[in-house]
Chains A and B, each alone.
Chain A
Amino acid sequence: MHWLFSSERPMPSSRKPHVIRCSLPSDLTAYHELVQQVLDKLQELGWKKENIFGVHMALEESISNAIRHGNHEDPAKQVHFHSELAENCFYAQVCDEGTGYDPGVVPDCCLPENLEIPGGRGLALIRAFMTTVTHSDEGRCVTMEKQLE
């Protein structure tokens, strides 16, 4: 895993954000250390438990989606992660090296007719816990932001 820490992106905070950049292998067991590092930093920045839970969910679902559905767990492909953390804002971008997809065609997991389908809930959870979620590069990248009041 390659790590880079620096301060780059302007954040709505009095202090410079904590920046984490890294590339992850397409392995569903290889990103938990990274996620824990983000959660620990948010706790250090004074984030409440319920807000950290939402970030945890968004990271878990976006990174596992990139590995499973984007890269199809291909060891030759990586997931690229960039995050900026501050007292009142969480930002993250997760990009895979897959063929892309149209997030608009993912079935709505919350419709009554889809309730018994085991998959397809990750995107709904990311959208629910984040303030904004955008997709780019033909679905290979998801950018998430959570602003605290």
Chain B
Amino acid sequence: MAKYRHIEVNESAHVSVVRFLDQKIIDPDAIQELGYELFELVEKDNRKKLVLNFSEVEFLSSAALGKLITFEKKTKRLEADLILTNIAPEIFQVFAITNLDKLFQIKDSEADALAVL
């Protein structure tokens, strides 16, 4: 069984629900490791439906955004569906400022995401 340091993964009706464990996603080494853990979900485990739940995340840097963008590109290339959920207002503002709310599919809650996956 895979062990993750920065995410927790649960299966719900063939959808992988991924929760971030870090409240602040800033540290460069942690961001690098987080990237490896996310990439493995689609590149190694071949998961095709993913929900990224941001409920624990209070702060993230532009370097973390960059890693999420790379992850989005990988999911698209591997024809996997990706939805972001439970984003706090301040974090959503970061997505909106950088227009990433147009790149990512974002829903209010896990239930909203599961309903369309």
Residues of A in contact with B (beta carbons under 8 Å apart): 28-29, 32, 49-50, 53, 56-57, 60-61, 64, 109-112, 115-119, 121-122, 124-125, 128
Residues of chain A contacted by B111 (CB below 8 angstroms):
none
The docked-state distance in angstroms from the alpha carbon of A117 to that of B70 is 8
Whether B28 lies near A110 (C-beta < 8 A) is no
Main secondary structure of the interface of A (DSSP, over half): helix
Of B69, B98, B100, most buried by chain A (CB within 10 Å of CB) is B98
| CB within 8 Å: A-B pair count | 59
Main secondary structure of the interface of B (DSSP, over half): helix
Closest to A119 in B: B66
The docked-state distance in angstroms from the alpha carbon of A117 to that of B72 is 11
- Kindly identify which residue among A56, A115, A117 contacts B102, using a CB–CB cutoff of 8 Å: A115
The docked-state distance in angstroms from the alpha carbon of A124 to that of B61 is 12
Of A29, A57, A64, A112, most buried by chain B (CB within 10 Å of CB) is A57
The docked-state distance in angstroms from the alpha carbon of A144 to that of B99 is 22
B26 at the binding interface (Cβ < 8 Å): yes
Residues of chain B contacted by A49 (CB below 8 angstroms):
90
Whether B90 lies near A121 (C-beta < 8 A) is no
Whether A118 lies near B99 (C-beta < 8 A) is no
Residues of chain A contacted by B26 (CB below 8 angstroms):
32, 60
